[in-house]
Structure 1
Amino acid sequence: MMGNKILRKIVATVKSESKGINYFSHQSTAADSYVYSILVDETSDISSCEQVSICIRYCNSQFQSQEDFVGFYATSKTDSFTLYNLVKDSLLRLGLSIDKLRGQGYDGGANVAGKISGLQKRLSDDYPRALYFHCAGHNLNLVVQDACQMSPVIGDAMSCLNKVVVYIRDSPKRWDSFNTLLASHEEVSGCNIRPLCATRWVLKLQSVDAFLHTYEVILDFMQTAHSEKSNSASMRSTAFSLLRKLEDFTLYFSLRLLQVLFKAVDPVHRNIQSKTITIGEVLTQVSSLANFLASNASFIASNAKNDDSVAHFTSCKEFASKLHLNFACVPRGVRVSAEDYFCGLYTGLFQTASESILIRFQAKSLQMAENLRRVLEDESIEDGIIKTVSEFYDDWNYIDILRERRQWFNICRHEGLQPSINSLRTQFKSELTYKLLLPNIRSALTLYIVIPATTCEAERSFSALRRLKTYLRSTQTQVRLNNLALMHIHRDDFIKKVDLDDAMNEFIDRTTTRRNKFGIGNK
C-alpha cells in the first residue's frame, strides 16, 4: 500500500518538476516533455537471488539533480538481453516513457557496458539520445587499480598488509593480546587495524593509515608471537615470515607510497558520491586530481627523480631507521642506486595514475556532456558545436537557442554575473521572467543536470537490502521486499510525512473482515 504510493509520488515528481513548458505557444507539455536518466546495478541477496536495483535521476524544482530508488527486480539471468527487457518493463510499469530517457549509468560490467551487445548498446540502438556514462566512482577505482599494478612490490605490500591483519584478527587470543599491547602505547591507543576493502580501492586508505600508525606495535607483536613457545610451530613460522617482510624497507616504502596516493584520491571519491553533483563538477575534480598526480610524476628526462620523490624517500628512510628496519636495497638485477630505484617507483606510480585518468575519462558521451556545458557557459563556442548538440538531443530549436544564448550573455554582462550553471540555477529559481524568456536554455540546463555522474545511489540501496533481507527474513516475497525497501529508503521524504490515521483507516477499509473487527464503515 505505502510502496505504491511512494512510487506514484516519485513518478509524479519526475513528470512535474522535470517538465518543460513552451511559454511562447502557451501550451503546457508537462505530460510529454520531462527527461530523466536511469542508474542500474545488481547484487546477490542473502538467498543468492540476483537483485537488480533501478534508480531514476531527474531535475527537481530547485534545478538540482534528484536520484530516487524505485525498486529491486529479481532475475535469474544477468545477460544484457534479460536486463534490457527488465529495464524496459520496469519503466513502462512506472509510466515513464522510454523516449524521454537521456542517460544510462552503470558500473562498467561487460553485460551492461559492452560496446557490441551490452545493455547500454541495446538501449542506445533503440533510443540514441540515451547516452551511456560509466560511473565516475568505478572509473576512479580502476585508476587506482591501474596505478597499483604498476610494480609488483606495490601488490606485495598490499598482500602482506592483509595477511598480517588477518593473522592478528583471526584468533581471539591474538587479537586480545594485540589490543593489550596497543593500549600500552598511548600515542596509538584506540587505533583499530582492519583488513583491506576487497572491492573499493579508494577505501583502503583507512586500512593503510591504521597499519602505518601502529607499525612499531605490529613489529613488537609479531616478534612476541614468533618467540612465544605456547604457539604452535605453524603459527610461529607464519609470524616469523611476516616479521621478516615487515622489517623490509621496500614494504614500508610501498605502504607509505600508497598512503600518499590514497590521500590524494579519497576526497575526490567522497565528493563525487553526492546525489546533486553534475557531470561537469565531476570532470573538474577529476581534472584537478590528474594535474596533482602529474605534478608528482614530473621529472627530468635524464633522471627519474624530483623534489617530491626525493623528499618521500628521505622521510621513509628516517622513519625506517627509527623502526630499525633493514636498509634500503634494490632487487637483484637492477643496476641503479637505492635512491634512484625508489624515486622511480614514486614517479612511476603517479605517472601511471595520471595517464590512466586521461584514458578512462575520455569517453564520447563525456565529450557530448562537455559540449552541452559549453552551450550554457561558453560565449565563444563555435556555432557548429551548438548545432551538433541541438541536432543530437532534438529537445530544443537550434535557431531559438542561439537567440536565447545572446540574451543570456547580455543579461550576465548587464547584471555582472558569471555565466555558469550555478548562475542559471539561481536565476531560474528566483525569477519566473527567465523561465519565460529562456525556455530553450532551461531545457538544456535540465538535460545537463539529468546526465548521470555515478551509480552511488543504486549501490546505497544495497545497504538497505542487506538490512531488510536477512538470514531470518530470507523467504519474504519480492513484493514485500520492494515495499519495505521503498519505505525504508524514502522514509525522510515520504514516510515521515504520512498521516498515520489516514494510513490505518485505508488499511482497515480494504477488507470486510477488518471493517467489522474495527467498526469502521466504507468511506
Structure 2
Amino acid sequence: MATRGHHDSEGNFIQLLRLRAEDNPLLQTLIENGRYLSPEIVNEQISLIGQNILRHLLDSVKTSKWYSVMADECMDVSYEEQLVICVRWVDSDLQIHEDMLGLLKIESQTSNYITAAIKDILLRCGLPLELCRGQAYDGAPNMSGHLSGVAKQIQDQSPSALGVHCLAHCINLCVQDVTKKCQPVRDSMDLVIEIEKLICLSPKRSNLFLEQKQLHGSAGSPNLRPICPTRWTVRTYAIESVLKNYKVLQETLDNIHKNTRDEYSRRAGGQLAMMDKFSTFFGLKLSHLIFAASEQLSLSVQGKETSAHDANKAAKATESYFERQRQESVFNKFYESVIDEAKDLTDPPTLPRYRRIPKRVDDGTEQHRFDTVKGYYRQQYYEALDLAKGELNARFDQKNMSVVQEIEALLLSAANGEDVSIPSSVADLYKNDISLGSLETQLKLLPGIFKDDDSKIKIKRVTLIDTISTYMLRSEANKRLLSDVYSLLKIYLTIPVTTATAERAFSSLRRIKTYLRSTMTQARLNHCMLGYVHKELTDNVDVKEIASNFIKKFPLRQVFFGNV
C-alpha cells in the first residue's frame, strides 16, 4: 500500500494516523501541530527500527564465531539490479539459521565488482572474512567461475570459505538438460507452454475453456498453470493441469480452430494435431514421472535447516528411484497404464515413418529400426531416466562438496567406533579452527556418548549427523569433553547447500518495492526489508528505545517531546 499518494493531507499515512488518533488524544495533538510527520522523519524512524533489527541479528551471528555467506542478484520493479546478502550460522544448540543482511544496488555485474561489494558489506557488519566457512551462489560465471568468479576470489583470500553451487539451482539445471536432450520430453513441455499462452492470455479463449470444463463436468479440475524458467517447482503442476484437462483442451482447441480465422486458429490447429498423437500423451506422462521426483528433491533441499548430509541423502534416494523405474516390469506397467488412459484421447500408438539418411551426411552406419511400437517407446523411457540420473549425479558431484563429505564420513565412522584418520584436506582447511591432536583423541571418545545413554532405545549404528548432534547436546559435559568435535560439527553445519533464503528475499522484495512504491530510496528499501523478513525481531523491537534514540538526536526534539 502506498503510504502518501499525491498529497500528504489525503494519503494513507495521515488517514491511518487520524483513525488511530480517535482514541489517542496525544496523537491527535501531534497531527494538529503538523510536526514530525514529514517523509524525512518517517524514513528516519524506519531507519532506526531497521538498524535495531540488524544490530540484534549481527550480535547473534557473532556468538557463533563462524558463518557462511550466500548471495544472488535480481532486477526489481524499477529495473535496478539488486544484490541480496544472506548469512548462514549455527547457534550453541547446533540449530541452523539463515538470515538476510540486506540489499545492495549494484552498477556492474562483474565478479570483481560483486566481490568488492560482498567484502564491503561483511566489513561494515563486523564479520571478518577470515571466519567465513562457506559460500553459496548460483551457477553464473561471474559468481561460480573457477578462474575468477566471486567464490574463487573470496576463497583465495579465505581458503576455508568453501564455494558451493546452489543445489536447488543444480536440480533445476538437471531438469532443463533432460528437457533439451530428450525429444519426447522437450516436445511435450513446448506443448504445455504454448497451450497455456494460447488460452490464458485471452479472456475470450479462457472463458471458452471454462465453459468446456462445465460441459464435461470437470469444474473441479485444476486451471492451466504457466511454466516459469526461473521457478523450481512448477513444471509438475503445469503438466498435471494439461493431463487432467486433456479432453477439455482438445474440445477447446477444436472450437478455436474451426470458429476463428486468425493466427490463433492456426496455432490451435497445430496444438490439436499434437494432442491427438499418442506420442504426445506418452511424453507428458514421462515428463511428469521425472519432474515429480526432481521437484520433490528440490523442495527437500530448500529448507534452512538442510545440511550437506540431508541433501546428498535426498539426491541418492532420487537416483535410486530413477534406477528402480528402469526395470522392465515397471516400464510394462507404466506403458500399459498410458495405453489405457490414452485409449479415448489419442490415436493408437504407431512407429514413426522410417526416414532414409541423405547420402551427403550418411556415415555408413545403419539406422536402428524398431520391431515393435512398445520397443520404440521403451527406448525413449530408458533414455529419459538415464539422462535424469546421469545429470543429477554430475551436478551434485562438486569439488568442494567432497571436503564436506569427508567431514561427514569422518564423524560417522568415528561415532561407530571405527579407526579413523583426519583427511589431509580437512586438516589443511581447519588447522587454525581446531586442535588436530585433540580432535584425534576426541574422535576415539565419541562412541562413548551413545553407549552411556540411559534411554530404552539403543543405537546400533550411527547413520545420521543429526544423531551425533542430538547426543552431543544431551549435556554440557559432552560439549566440553568433545570440544573440537563440537567445533568441527558446527563448521560442517555452517556450510550452505542452497541459496533458497536469498530467493525468498527476492519474493519479499516484490511485496515491498511495488509499482506504487517504485521510487523509494535504497536506504528505505533496506530497512523495510529487514523489518518484513525478520518479523520476530520486528515484534521484539523496544519501541521506547527507538523513540528515545529518535529524540536524543537533536536538542529541539528533547524540548518538544521531553525525556522518554
TM over 0.5: yes
* Equivalent residue number for residue 269 of structure 1: 298
DSSP-derived class of the 1:399 partner? helix
The 5 A counterparts of 1:100-249 are 100-200=131-231, 202-228=233-259, 231-249=260-278
The counterpart of 1:284, out of the listed 313, 333, 339, is: 313
Structure 2 equivalent of residue 340 of structure 1: 375
In structure 2, relative to structure 1, the CA distance for the partners of 1:330 and 1:188 (3 Å cut) is farther
Is residue 438 of structure 2 the alignment partner of residue 409 of structure 1?
Answer: no
Distance 2:149 2:295 in 1: 30
> How far apart are residue 87 of structure 1 and its match?
0.8
Distance 1:147 1:234 in 2: 31
Corresponding position of 1:5? 52
Structure 2 residue matching 1:378: 3-state secondary structure: helix
Distance change in 2, residues 1:104/1:331 (3 Å): farther
Specify which of 366, 370, 391 is matched with residue 428 of structure 2. Answer: 391
AA of the residue aligned to 2:515: Y
Counterparts of 1:327 and 1:267 in 2: how far apart (Å)?
Answer: 31
1:43 aligns with 2:74: yes
Output one character per residue of 1:190-223: Cα deviation in whole Å (capped at 9) or x when no partner. Answer: 5211221222354211100111000010011111
1:363 aligns with 2:401: no
- Written as runs of structure 1 = structure 2, the 5 A alignment for 1:61-100 is 61-100=92-131
State the Cα distance separating 1:382 from its structure 2 match: 6.1
CA contact (8 A) 1:144 1:353 kept: yes
- Asked if the contact 2:232/2:298 (under 8 Å) is kept, the reply is no
Is 1:257 equivalent to 2:286 in the alignment? yes
C-alpha distance in 2, partners of 1:325/1:168?
24
Q: 1:255 to 1:201 in 2, by over 3 A?
A: farther
496, 500, 505: which one aligns with 2:539: 496
Paired residues, number: 495
Specify which of 388, 393, 397 is matched with residue 353 of structure 1: 388
Retained in 2: the 8 A contact 1:37–1:58?
A: yes
Aligned 8 A contact 2:132 2:161 in 1:
yes
1:484 paired with 2:528, answer yes
Query: Matched residues, percent identical?
Result: 28
TM-aligned CA deviation for residue 170 of structure 1? 1.6
CA distance in 1, matches of 2:286, 2:243: 11
- State the distance in 2 between where 1:240 and 1:401 align: 70
Going from structure 1 to structure 2, the CA distance change for 1:11 and 1:323 (only over 3 Å counts) comes to same
Q: Distance in 1 between matches of 2:221 and 2:540?
A: 41
Taking a change above 3 Å as real, the CA distance of residues 76 and 168 of structure 1, as seen in their structure-2 partners, is: same
**Relative to structure 1, is the Cα distance of residues 97 and 233 closer, same or farther in structure 2, using a 3 angstrom cutoff?**
closer
Match of 2:477 in 1: 433
Task: Give 1 or 2 for the bigger CA radius of gyration.
Answer: 2
Letter in 1 for 2:176: Q
CA deviations on 1:43-62 (whole Å, 9 max, x unpaired) are: 11111111101100000232
Query: CA separation in 2, counterparts of 1:434 and 1:386?
Result: 24
Moved more, 274-283 or 505-514: 505-514
CA distance 1:41–1:381, shift in 2 (3 Å): farther
Q: Within 2, Cα distance between the matches of 1:162 and 1:155?
A: 11
Helix, strand or coil: the match of 1:51? strand
What amino acid is the match of 2:562?
I
Match of 1:330 in 2: 352
Where does the alignment leave 5 or more consecutive residues of structure 1 unmatched?
A: 19-33, 299-305
Looking at structure 1, the residues matched to 353 and 177 of structure 2 have their Cα atoms a distance apart, in angstroms, of 22
C-alpha deviation, 1:505, in angstroms: 4.0
1:376-387 aligned at under 5 Å gives the runs 376-379=411-414, 383-387=420-424
Alignment of 1:299-310 (within 5 A): 306-310=328-332
SS in 2 for 1:494: helix
Distance 1:2 1:50, change over 3 A: same
Pick which of 498-507 and 3-12 moved more: 498-507
Q: Is the 8 A contact 1:375 1:381 kept in 2?
A: no
How far is the alpha carbon of 1:324 from its aligned partner?
A: 4.0
Q: Which moved more, 1:266-275 or 1:440-449?
A: 266-275
Q: Is the 8 A contact 1:104 1:132 kept in 2?
A: yes
Q: Shift of residue 249 of structure 1?
A: 1.1
Asked whether the equivalents of residues 42 and 52 of structure 1 are also in contact (C-alpha less than 8 Å), the reply is yes
Q: How far does residue 383 in structure 1 lie from its aligned partner after superposition?
A: 4.2
Distance in 2, Cα, partners of 1:327 & 1:387: 58
**Equivalent residue for 2:514?**
470
Give the TM-score normalised by structure 2.
0.84
Q: Secondary structure at the match of 2:447?
A: helix
Tell whether the 8 Å contact from 1:145 to 1:201 is kept in structure 2 after alignment.
no
- Structure 1 position 6, deviation (Å): 1.5
Residue equivalent to 1:458: 502
SS of the equivalent of 2:241 reads: helix
Q: Could you tell me how far 1:484 is from its partner in structure 2?
A: 0.4
TM-score (norm 1): 0.90
SS at match of 1:327: coil
